[in-house]
Amino acid sequence: MGSMLGLLTDGVRAIGRVGSGVAGHAGGMGLLAWRSLTAVLSGSVAFKDFIAQAHSIGVQSIPLVLVTATLSGVVTSQQGGYQFTGAIPLYVLGSVVTSSVVLELGPVLTAIVLIGRVGARITAEIGTMQVSEQIDALYSLGRDPIPVLAAPRIFAGMIAMPALVGIANAVGFVAGMIAARLTVNLGSESFLYGARMYWHSYDFFYSMMKALAFGVIIPLISCHMGLLTRGGAEGVGRATTSSVVFMIIAVLVADALFPPLFLN
């Protein structure tokens, strides 16, 4: 009885610790988002910093996004073709590929690419600045690190992510169409016919909303975790790992919340 009570107490304590940790991070990120917004609205963010980050987050991610988008289109097309052969009219493949890419694979895979390529780098970069006192140096020189470091990255992410997802959607669609011709011999016209048949313009809007949400989540978490970094090189490694884990969980949770919120 006593051990059961002890287990229960430990369980409640653990839930309390996790809950308190999550609430602390959520509060910190809410404050960071608010301060970044006010920094942008008050004109404290240098335009050149925003452009540099948009280039780093957006333009430099294009090659990797092209690769993942192409492969996602090809794989979806091949697997759909394999399942549909002899059972469902093959032109339906056009709709399946389009919906899969636009509603799910384009935004989510691009987000995963950005988490690995951009999010981890932002946390490591800001974390290194934190442990090497560069953030303190900013404060000592009368500069607030939010307009200098966080706001340009967060708003560049908001702009770059929808653009990257737009590219991923288009490339995934074309790659899927080419793969359908090569693997199950479905012509482009039939593929396009299937794609048009079940297409809703809202799907593209939905895809862009997801992209915008992920475009906020990734730099927000990565900047937040970077600014919380303590403890030298080991601390930077720990913060980067935690940041990547949090970003993946946050993106997948947000992805799971989208259909009940926006597709019904």
Stretch that binds another protein, among 70-78, 132-140, 180-188, 254-262 (CB under 8 A): 132-140
Stretch that binds another protein, among 55-63, 133-141, 170-178, 220-228 (CB under 8 A): 133-141
Angle at 122 between CA 143 and CA 134, to 5 degrees: 35
Per CB under 8 A, the list member of 142, 201, 260, 264 interacting with another protein is 142
Q: Tell the burial category of 48 from Cβ atoms under 10 Å away from its Cβ (0-12, 13-18, 19+).
A: exposed
Nearest distance from C-beta of residue 132 to another protein, angstroms: 6
The DSSP string of 204-217 is: HHHHHHHHHHHHHH
Q: Which is nearer to another protein, 41 or 141 (CB)?
A: 141
Nearest distance from C-beta of residue 60 to another protein, angstroms: 15
Residue 1 makes contact with another protein by CB under 8 A: no
Per CB under 8 A, the list member of 12, 51, 136, 257 interacting with another protein is 136
Per CB under 8 A, the list member of 137, 182, 245, 253 interacting with another protein is 137
Residue 133 makes contact with another protein by CB under 8 A: yes
Angle at 80 between CA 214 and CA 179, to 5 degrees: 85
Residue 197 makes contact with another protein by CB under 8 A: no
Q: Report CA-CA distances (Å) from 204 to 33, 230, 232.
A: 26, 41, 44
Q: Which is nearer to another protein, 10 or 136 (CB)?
A: 136
DSSP H helical ranges for the chain: 2-41, 47-57, 62-84, 92-99, 106-114, 120-131, 134-140, 145, 151-184, 188-197, 201-227, 232-262
Residue 234 makes contact with another protein by CB under 8 A: no
Per CB under 8 A, the list member of 117, 143, 181, 238 interacting with another protein is 143
How many CB atoms neighbour CB 193 within 10 A? Answer: 15
Positions in the binding site for another protein (CB under 8 A): 128-129, 132-134, 136-137, 139-143
